[in-house]
Amino acid sequence: MSESIIRCEGLNKWYGSIQALKDVSIDIKKGEAVGLVGDNGAGKSTFIKILSGVHKADSGNIYFDGNKVKINNARDSMKLGIETIYQDSALAPTLSIARNLFVGREPLTFKIGSLGLLDREKMARESLEAIKRVELDLRSGDEVVENLSGGERQGVVIARALYFRTKVLIMDEPTNHLSVKETEKVLRWIEKLKAEGTTCIFITHNLHHVYPVSDRLVVFARGEKIADVQKKDTSIEDLTKMIVHD
Amino acid sequence: MNIRKYFKYVASRPEFAALTIFIIIAITFYGINENFLNFRNLRVLFTISPEIALIAMGATILMVSGEFDLSVGSVFALSGVVMVVLTNEGVNAHLAFTISLLMCLAIGFINATITIRFGIPSFIATLGTMFMVRSIAIVIVKADFPTFPMEEMYWLRAIFANPIPGTIFRMSFIWFILITLLLIFYLHRSNYGNWSYSTGANQAAAQAMGVNTNNVKIRNFVLCSFLAGLAGIFMVLRTRAAFPSVGVGYELQAIAASVIGGASLFGGIGTVFGALVGAFLLKFLDNGLVMARLDVNWFRFAVGTLLIFAVISNTNLRRIANKMRE
Ligand SMILES: Nc1ncnc2c1ncn2[C@@H]1O[C@H](COP(=O)(O)OP(=O)(O)OP(=O)(O)O)[C@@H](O)[C@H]1O
Ligand SMILES: [Mg+2]
C-alpha cells in the first residue's frame, strides 16, 4: 500500500485575485481512503476539480501512477481512471438508470466512426447486475433516476464506479442531504469500493461520517493544506480543533 | 403484462396521449365531413404533414439536448429560394440543390456557434438569425417572385416531389419515412442519442462523464437546420414556386408539435415519434377545420388550447408514472 496513485506537487489556483489553492502537495496511495475536511471556502472543491479536469491549476504538477500527466478536461481525467461525483450533478434525472450508467461509455453492437448502435440488451442486463452489487432494492435498470431517493442516486453512481473499475473515485459531499440510514449505506459502499481496491477521496463537513471509513485525513484551511494525518494518529476532537481554530 | 405496468408505460410516454388525441380528431372531422378522409384529402394531408413533421422532429431532437431553434421557418423559406434562384442563374439544378442544403448546414452551425461561444440562450441567438435569414430570402428574390425552372427541376421533382401513381403519397413521403427511421435510430438507439438526452437533462453530469456537450449541440443544431431546409425544398418542388414569405410561424408550430408530442422545454425529454404525431395532429386539425367549413381562424385557438392541455397533462402523467414504482 505504499505505491502512490496520485501525487500533486505545489498546486496553485487563483480565481481572479482570490487564491483558492496555495502550494498544495499531496501524495495519495493506491487503495487508500482519504477524507478531505476544512471550513467553507477552504479550497477542497477546487482541489478535486483540478483532479477531475473541471479547472486547471495555474502552477504545479500532477503525477498519476508515477507518470506526469496533464488533466485538461473531464475526458482526460476519466481516461486515467478517475471518476468524480458531485452531489447534484452526477446523473441525468430524466434518464433511466441503465442509460445513466453508460453515458459516454455506451456498449455498442456496431459503429461507424464514433456513431454506434446501443447494445440495449447488455445495458439492461449489466445495469441490473451493477445495482445489485450495491444492494439497491430496484427491480430494473429502466427506472428513471428522478424517482430515486438521494441515497439511491449515490448508490447508482457508486455502482457505476464499481462497474467501470474506476481506479480513483472522488466524491464531493457524498452524504449531504441524506438521512441517517442512507448515509450509513453510502459509507458501507465506500468500504466496498475500498475492498475492491478503488482509491477514494471524499469531502465532507461531517467528521463523524468521514472518520470511520477514512485511512487518512487531510485538513484544508484558506487554500492551504494544514494537516495530513493517518487516522490512527488523530481523533475527531483533534481534527475539530484544527478546523475550528485555524 | 399487468394493468399497472401497462398504465405506467403509457403514462410515462406522452406521445401515446398525443396519438389518442390525433385519432379522436381524425374521427371527429370524418364524422363532420366524410370527405375529410377521402382519397383526395388524404393525399393533401400526407403531403403537407411530413413537411412540418420534418421540422418538428429536428426541433424535438434539439430540445432534447436543451436548445431551441427559432430560425427554422426562415430556413424553410431560404432553402427553396436559393435553389430556385441559383438554377435560374444558370447553375445546374442538382448543384443548386446541394449548395442550398450545405447552406442550411452552415446556418445550423452558425446558430450553434453563436449559442455556445457566446454562452447566450439559443432562444435569442436563433431569434436573431430568424430575422436575418428571412431578410436574406426576401432580398435574394428582390421584388418579383422567381419563375420556377420547370425543365431543370425535372429530375429533382421526380425524385422528391411527384405523386406516386395509385397511392395517396408523393415521393417526398418515402424520403420522410426513411429520414424518420434514421432519426429514430439516432435519438433512441445510438450513443449520440444518449449523449443528447444527458446533455439536455444535466449538462454538467454529461460533461463529467466525458461527453463533449458542445459537439452534441452543434450536431443537433445542424441537423435541425438541415431538416428545415429539406422540408422547404420539398415544398418548393411540390408547389413549383419559391416564395420568400413561406414558413412564417413554423418555428412555433414545430415547438408546439414537439411539446404536444411530449418533449420538455427543459431538455432531456422527447421522442421522434412524439414530434411526428404532434406535427400530423396540427396539420390534420388545420385541414379538418377547413373541411368542416369552420372559420379557419379557430386553428390558432385550437393549437393554443391543445398546447396548454398537453403540457399540463404531460407533466401530471409523468408525475403519476414516477410514483408508480415497479
Ligand atoms: N468558480 C469560482 N470562481 C471564483 N471563485 C471561486 C470559484 N470557485 C471557488 N471560488 C472561491 O475559491 C475559494 C475556495 O472555494 P472551494 O469551493 O474550493 O471551497 P470548499 O472548501 O469546497 O468550500 P465548501 O466547503 O463551502 O464547499 C473560495 O473563496 C471560493 O469563493
Ligand atoms: Mg465545496
Please report which confidence band the pLDDT of residue B283 belongs to, taking 50, 70 and 90 as the band edges. Answer: very high
Distance CA A169, CA B56 (A): 41
For position A6, what pLDDT does the model report?
95
pLDDT at A154 over 90: no
A74 near B CB under 8 A: yes
Q: Is the pLDDT of residue A1 over 80?
A: no
With an 8 Å Cβ cutoff, is B143 touching chain A? no
Q: Whose CA is nearest to atom 30 of ligand 1?
A: A41
DSSP line for B247-281 = TTTHHHHHHHHHHHTT--TTSS---HHHHHHHHHH
Please report, for chain B, the start and end positions of each structural domain, with discontinuous segments joined by +: 2-323
Give residue A212's pLDDT.
85
Q: What is the pLDDT of residue B325?
A: 63
- The yes-or-no verdict on residue B326 having pLDDT over 70 is no
The 10s digit of each residue's pLDDT in B110-127 is 999 999 999 999 999 999
Task: With CA atoms as reference, report the closest residue to A95 among B264, B210, B1, B220.
Answer: B264
Verify whether the Cβ–Cβ distance B191 to A90 is below 8 Å.
no
In this prediction, residues B32-50 reach a mean pLDDT of 94
Please name the residue ranges forming H helices in B142-170. 154-160
Over the Cα atoms of chain B, what is R_g?
A: 20
Q: What is the pLDDT of residue A173?
A: 85
At B143 the pLDDT is 65
Instruction: Write the residue in A104, A143, A147 that is nearest to B209 by C-beta.
Output: A104
- In percent, how much of chain A has pLDDT > 70? 98
Out of B2-16, B27-41, B138-152, the most confident range is B27-41
What ipTM score was computed for the predicted complex, to two decimals? 0.85
A74, A95, A143 ranked by CB distance to B201: nearest = A95
pLDDT score for A114: 92
In the predicted structure, residue B69 carries a pLDDT above the cut 90:
yes
CA distances from A174 to A158, A159, A202, A217, B86 (A): 10, 14, 7, 16, 61
Beta carbons of B268 and A147 less than 8 Å apart? no
Greater pLDDT, B8 or B325: B8
pLDDT in tens, A42-99: 999 999 999 999 899 999 999 999 999 999 988 899 889 998 887 666 899 999 999 9
Cα angle A89, A148, A199; round to 5: 55
- Grid cell, residue B318, equals 409523468
Residue pair B272/B61 in contact (Cβ under 8 Å)? The answer is yes
Residue B11's pLDDT is 79
Tell me what pLDDT residue B128 has.
97
Residue B273: what residue type? F
Decide: helix, strand or coil at residue B155: helix
Predicted local distance difference test score (pLDDT) of residue B9 = 79
The three cell numbers locating residue B106: 452552415
Find the mean pLDDT for residues B239-255. 95
Q: Does domain B2-323 have CATH number 1.10.3470?
A: yes
Question: Quick one: pLDDT at residue B167?
Answer: 94
pLDDT (0 to 100) of residue B62: 98
List CB contacts (< 8 A) between B192 and chain A. 114-115
Q: Which of A19, A40, A46 to mutate to test the pocket of ligand 1 (most atoms within 8 A of CB)?
A: A46
Task: Return the residue in B64, B209, B265, B266 with the most chain A beta carbons within 10 A, the one to mutate for interface testing.
Answer: B209
* Ranges A104-113, A198-207, B80-89, B221-230: which has the least confidence: A198-207
Q: Do A92 and B206 touch (CB under 8 A)?
A: yes
Q: Are A228 and A218 in contact (CB under 8 A)?
A: yes
pLDDT confidence of residue A30: 92
pLDDT at residue A246, as a whole number: 64
Task: State the pLDDT at residue B106.
Answer: 98
- Nearest CB to B206: which of A94, A103, A118? A103
Does domain A4-245 fall under CATH 3.40.50.300? My reply is yes
CB A21 within 8 A of CB A46: yes
Q: How many CB pairs lie under 8 A apart between chains A and B?
A: 94
Nearest to A182 by CA among A158, A164, A198, A217: A158
Contacts of B255 (CB under 8 A, 6+ apart): B59, B63, B68
Please tell me the predicted confidence (pLDDT) of residue A191. 87
Q: How many Cβ atoms from other residues are within 10 Å of residue A23's Cβ?
A: 14
Mean pLDDT calculated for residue range A21-48: 93
Q: What angle do CA A93, B61, B122 make, to 5 degrees?
A: 90
Q: Using CA positions, which residue lies closest to atom 6 of ligand 1?
A: A15
* Cβ contact B194–A103 (<8 Å): yes
For residues B59-69, average pLDDT:
98
Per residue in A202-221, is it b (16+ CB within 10 Å) or e — as a string?
A: bbbeebebbbebbbbbbbbb
DSSP class of residue A246 equals: -
Q: What is the pLDDT of residues B199-235, one digit of tens each?
A: 999 998 998 888 999 999 999 999 999 999 999 999 9
State chain B's mean pLDDT as an integer: 93
Mean of the per-residue pLDDT values of chain A: 89
